[in-house]
Structure formats: C-alpha cells, structure tokens
Amino acid sequence: MSVKPFSIEFYLPRATRADQVAALLERVDARVLGHRPLHDPVEVQPALGEITGVHPAVIKVALSAVVWFLAVAWLDFSGGVEVDLPLAVVTGFFVMFFTLFLVTASLAVNDPRWRLPKASFRKFLDDEVPIDRGMMRGRDVLIHITMLPVTLAVAGTLIGLVWSIVRTGSS
C-alpha cells in the first residue's frame, strides 16, 4: 500500500479568486452591469455617486406603517387580559427590534459613505441603488421594503373597522 504524500493543493479550491468573481459577474444581468468593465469588487471600491443606499424616507414609511399597525391593534382589540398580553408581547418585540436597529445605526453613523451628499427622493426612485446583492431600481427597493408593513397596516385597519362595527352592532 502506497501512502500519498501530503499536498496543500488537495485542500485548496481549484478556482482562484479571480475565477470566482468572473463566474459571479457572468451570472449578473447584463443591464445591471451596463458598459462598466469587469473588476473584483473587493479590490476596487466603485464610486457610489450621490446615492449611498436606501433613502431614509423609505425606512420612515416602513417604520410608520409598523407603528400604525400597532396603534390600530391596541385601539381596536384591547380590552381583556387574553388579548392585552399578546399585544404587549408584540409591542415589546417591536421596541426590542427598533432598539437593535438604533444601536446598529449608531455604530455605523461614522461610516464615510454617510457623509456623501444625499439624493432627492425623486432621484432615488429613478436611479439604480446599490444593495447587498448588486443594483436595484429605487422604485423596486421602495416596494420591497414597504409592501409588507403597509399591507399589514391597511389589513389591520380594515379588520379593526369590521370588528368595531360588529362589536357595536351586537351590543
């Protein structure tokens, strides 16, 4: 029985970093890349221009919808221990996650990207926005972030209205 000598090549992946980046960039839609040359995003930091990410108004809309939903839930459905306890737990979760959001924001506030001039909301909606996995239209980012909280707030309001009408009609 022959013993194969230890080889570091056995433990290293065959593809180099450049091969991995090239393969990843080939999978990205051509319209997203435009006419920019292919490069390693780790080695070269692209200029972000006026837009640094999600516009603050989008986050305000999403958080406002969550507060709207919680307010409707408390105003329409509170009134007994069996309902107030779950409402208090849900409100506690919101406060906890909002606090975590504020803590992480305070840690990132000194990032040099945030000192760049901010784009107007109209420009944000029309431009391509850098997100975690590439570029996305600002309108699509707005829809992706605000769709769930706004839909839940509207649905909660409608359910609360029906509940209020039924409750007052049966009394």
Which letter does DSSP use for residue 15 in this model?
S
List, for residues 78-110, the tens digit of each pLDDT value.
888 888 899 999 999 999 999 998 898 888 877
Residue 39 DSSP class: -
Collapse the DSSP code of 111 into the 3-class scheme (helix H, G, I; strand E, B; otherwise coil) and give the result. coil
Q: How far apart are CA 87 and CA 77, in angstroms?
A: 9
Q: What are phi and psi of 51, to 5 degrees?
A: -100, 125
Statement: the pTM of the whole predicted model exceeds 0.75: no
